[in-house]
């Protein structure tokens, strides 16, 4: 069914009253608010059925309403501010970082290097290097290829090494400062908490991939793992730290399983394996802050290490 303009005019002239369902009325009111249309030409007669009656309006009133709609209909075009300098370069680098893959790696790497070479200001190079590190270290899916790119960038620009080593100094502290947020208390903060944890896990994988690409030394990773284990040994004795330990364990799991081939060749690896075996034998009832979930994670690590050692 459809209506012509004359049909609408006839309805207006004949003052036809129509009872609309509540769902339709709500939809109409929503559309009116969204479009900013004036409702002065309509009157509402409140009865038990709540009807809407369309009044006869003069031609001038209709013209006025039409004019008002035309005024509201004229939207101002969005003015795009063109980026300049290092901001523009960083924007273009982001595009290439999003595009990069194993198939087009060399092309996008060369473009990224070319962009950085155009910058002569040391502070701007550092800003771009920090942004690249943040993007590369927090994307778990592309971690392997980003670590390969980071190796080449660090070989060409010392600032990338400086940023990495400064970050490593604070990463263990960042993990130790994890504070669990109860979703029933503050759901927004809980979402932020999960976002931070996801980023930490991506960083753990990135660090391991940097070791594989010889950007970091194996001992640097082993020291980080041992420090995390020492912290967990202390925290299981502190009440109400189950959730924090679970998150630390998730990061430990990623680091150890992703670097199992290094661990079996490292002198410090023996201590790491010994610690994990102890953790896998923990009992929930015997410690203030250990969960079954964390214990099973340690058992998984032991299994994966055993399989690697057999190979």
pLDDT, position 45: 44
First and final C-alpha spacing in the chain: 74
Distance CA 224, CA 272 (A): 11
pLDDT, position 53: 47
Cα-based distances in Å from 311 to 102, 250, 259, 260, 306: 28, 24, 14, 11, 9
Q: What is the pLDDT along the chain (311 residues), one digit of tens a residue?
A: 556 666 666 666 666 566 666 666 667 776 776 666 665 544 444 444 444 444 444 455 555 555 565 555 555 565 555 566 778 999 999 999 999 999 999 999 999 999 999 998 999 999 999 999 999 999 999 999 999 999 999 999 999 999 999 999 999 999 999 999 999 999 999 999 999 999 999 999 999 999 999 999 999 999 999 999 999 999 999 999 999 999 999 999 999 999 998 888 888 999 999 999 999 999 999 999 999 999 999 999 999 998 876 65
- How many CB atoms are closer than 10 A to CB 235? 18
Instruction: Please give the model's pTM, rounded to 2 decimal places.
Output: 0.72
- The set of residues, in sequence order, having a beta carbon less than 8 Å from that of 229 and lying 6+ positions away, is 252, 272, 275, 276, 279
Sign of CA dihedral 264, 268, 270, 274: negative
Token duo for residue 198? 């996801």
3-class DSSP state of 169: helix
Nearest to 252 by CA among 238, 272, 274: 272
Is residue 289 within 8 A of residue 236, CB to CB? The reply is yes
For residue 188, give the H/E element and its range. Answer: helix 187-212
Nearest to 178 by CA among 232, 248, 227, 255: 248
Is residue 45 within 8 A of residue 13, CB to CB? The reply is no
């Amino acid at each position: 069914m459809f209506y012509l303009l004359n049909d609408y005019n006839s309805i207006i002239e004949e003052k036809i009253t129509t009872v609309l369902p509540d769902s339709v009325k709500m939809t109409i009111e929503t559309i009116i608010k969204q479009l900013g249309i004036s409702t002065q030409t309509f009157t509402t007669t409140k009865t038990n059925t709540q009807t809407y009656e369309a009044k006869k309006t003069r031609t001038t009133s209709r013209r006025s309403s039409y004019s008002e709609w035309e005024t509201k209909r004229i939207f101002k075009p969005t003015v795009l501010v063109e980026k300049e300098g290092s901001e523009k370069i960083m924007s273009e680098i982001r595009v290439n970082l999003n595009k990069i893959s194993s198939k087009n790696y060399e092309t996008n790497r060369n473009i990224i290097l070319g962009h950085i070479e155009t910058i002569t200001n040391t502070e701007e190079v550092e800003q771009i290097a920090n942004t690249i590190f943040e993007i590369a270290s927090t994307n778990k899916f592309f971690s392997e290829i980003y670590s390969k790119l980071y190796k080449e960038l660090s070989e060409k620009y010392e600032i990338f090494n400086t940023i990495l080593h400064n970050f490593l100094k604070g990463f263990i502290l960042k993990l130790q400062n994890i504070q669990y947020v109860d979703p029933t208390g503050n759901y927004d903060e809980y979402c932020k908490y999960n976002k931070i944890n996801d980023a930490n896990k991506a960083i753990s994988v990135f660090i391991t991939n940097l070791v594989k690409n010889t950007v970091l030394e194996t001992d640097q990773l082993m020291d980080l793992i041992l420090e995390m284990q020492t912290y967990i040994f202390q925290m299981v004795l502190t009440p109400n730290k189950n959730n924090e330990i679970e998150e630390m364990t998730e990061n430990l799991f990623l680091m150890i399983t992703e670097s199992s081939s290094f661990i079996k060749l490292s002198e410090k690896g023996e201590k790491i394996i010994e610690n994990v075996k102890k953790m896998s034998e923990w009992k929930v009832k015997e410690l203030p802050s250990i969960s079954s979930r964390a214990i099973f994670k340690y058992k998984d690590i032991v299994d994966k290490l055993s399989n690697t050692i057999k190979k």
